[in-house]
Amino acid sequence: MLAARSRLPDLAAVTRVDEVGVAERVARFTSRSIKKESKVEALKMVLSMIDLTTLEGQDTPGKVRQLCQKAMHLHDRRPGLPHVAAVCVYPTLVAVAKRALGDSGIKVASVATAFPSGMAPRRVKIEETKIAVGEGADEIDMVISRGAFLAGDYAAVFDEIAAIKEAAQGAHLKVILETGELGSLDRVRRASVLAMHAGADFIKTSTGKVQPAATLPVTLVMLQAIRDYHAETGRMVGMKPAGGIANAKLAIHYLVMLKETLGNAWMTPDRFRFGASSLANDVLMQIEKQLTGRYQSADYFSRD
């Protein structure tokens, strides 16, 4: 359902963010000790929230088909595991992914809008979005125009998101802020507010092509923005940290942060995703370790 046309929010009124205070709050999340049943439950939840991603210049249909196979068969040796939430690819490979995933229930997410830089005329970005949706994409991951944002042209950034939302014709829209280029948590907070008011279904940290990608502090600020937006409008926006979440321990820190900031209603793939490529195998290894008591070797887990 398309969001009702809304107005550019007053970004000057958005609350300030203190980065030292944020880091301290994050430290309390990372010192939580998640063990035993709660750890296995968390690890399975992480798996169900992964958007298995390949966004390389060298991607081919073969590579994408293999990735989809992995998405559907993470580790058949261990029954009872959930499948990932989605596979994320470039628009030209959406059809391949769609065919490969069949009726598995795994979504196809496509990047669009001149990912990762966003440096293309608006009409090109709209066209690309329509193509991706036409090829069968269930979800669109767009990038905001960071240049326009940093130059202070918030109206242009806002209008562009609204235009892409319309072009997505009901496919669910994730808006990538590229927090690594925004430079401060104040700007991350403002960009989050802007994106949600413009119609984002999810706000996402990064393209994964720029360092730093997702971090706990940046994610906390975005989750707090989502909480305030929900209190103001009643609408639930999802969140996706992407890039740099290489291991299960870190992923669990994110879940702790999510649980204690937004609560149970957001602890589902409909409201939270991990954008990652190598995370899944580390999670699988940790699950095996919890269930068998043995530390694992990468040799026993498929790498597609």
153 binds another protein (CB under 8 A): no
- Residues sharing a CB contact under 8 Å with residue 203, sequence separation 6 or more, in sequence order: 174, 175, 177, 192, 195, 196, 222, 225, 226, 237, 238, 239, 240
Catalytic one of 70, 165, 174, 204 = 204
Q: Is 35 in the site for another protein (CB under 8 A)?
A: yes
Cis peptide before 241 (omega within 30 of 0): no
Q: If we measure between CA atoms, which residue out of 196, 208, 251, 213 comes closest to residue 42? A: 251
| Shortest reach from residue 252's CB to another protein, in Å | 10
Q: Which stretch binds another protein (CB under 8 A): 21-29, 46-54, 72-80, 103-111?
A: 21-29
Q: Which of 2, 6, 21, 249 forms a contact with another protein (CB under 8 A)? A: 21
Q: Which is nearer to another protein, 205 or 224 (CB)?
A: 224
Residues 6+ apart with CB under 8 A from 186: 16, 17
Exactly one of 3, 8, 22, 72 binds another protein (CB under 8 A); that residue is: 22
**Binding residue for another protein, selected from 12, 31, 295, 298, defined by CB under 8 A:** 31
204 is catalytic: yes
Residues numbered 283-302 forming contacts with another protein, rule: CB under 8 A:
none
How many angstroms separate the CA atoms of 133 and 6, rounded? 24
Taking Cα atoms as reference points, which of 52, 80, 91 lies closest to residue 68? 52
Cβ neighbours of 278 (radius 10 Å): 11
Please tell me the distance from the alpha carbon of residue 73 to that of residue 77, in angstroms, as a whole number. 9
Angle made by CA atoms 148, 167, 188, in degrees to the nearest 5: 35
Q: Which region among 103-111, 147-155, 224-232, 286-294 touches another protein (by CB under 8 A)?
A: 224-232
Residue of 51, 141, 201, 282 with catalytic role: 141
Q: Is 183 in the site for another protein (CB under 8 A)?
A: no
Q: Is 141 a catalytic residue?
A: yes
E strands present in 84-234: 86-89, 107-111, 139-143, 172-176, 202-204
Alpha-carbon gap, residue 70 to 92, rounded angstroms: 20
CB of 173 to another protein, least distance (A): 24
270 binds another protein (CB under 8 A): no
Residues 230-269 that bind another protein (CB under 8 A): 231, 255, 259-260, 262-265, 267
Tokens linked to 52: 């298995």
Q: At which residue do the structure tokens 């072009």 appear?
A: 167
Span from 10-18, 111-119, 151-159, 200-208 in contact with another protein (CB under 8 A): 10-18
- Smaller CB separation from another protein, 42 or 157: 42
Q: Using DSSP, state whether 50 is helix, strand or coil.
A: strand
Q: Given the complex with another protein, which of 209 and 259 has the nearer CB atom? A: 259
Q: Confirm or reject binding of residue 10 to another protein (CB under 8 A).
A: no
Residue 81 contacts another protein per CB under 8 A: no
- By CB under 8 A, name the binding residues for another protein: 15-18, 20-22, 24-25, 31-39, 41-42, 45, 224, 227, 231, 255, 259-260, 262-265, 267
Catalytic residues: 141, 204, 240
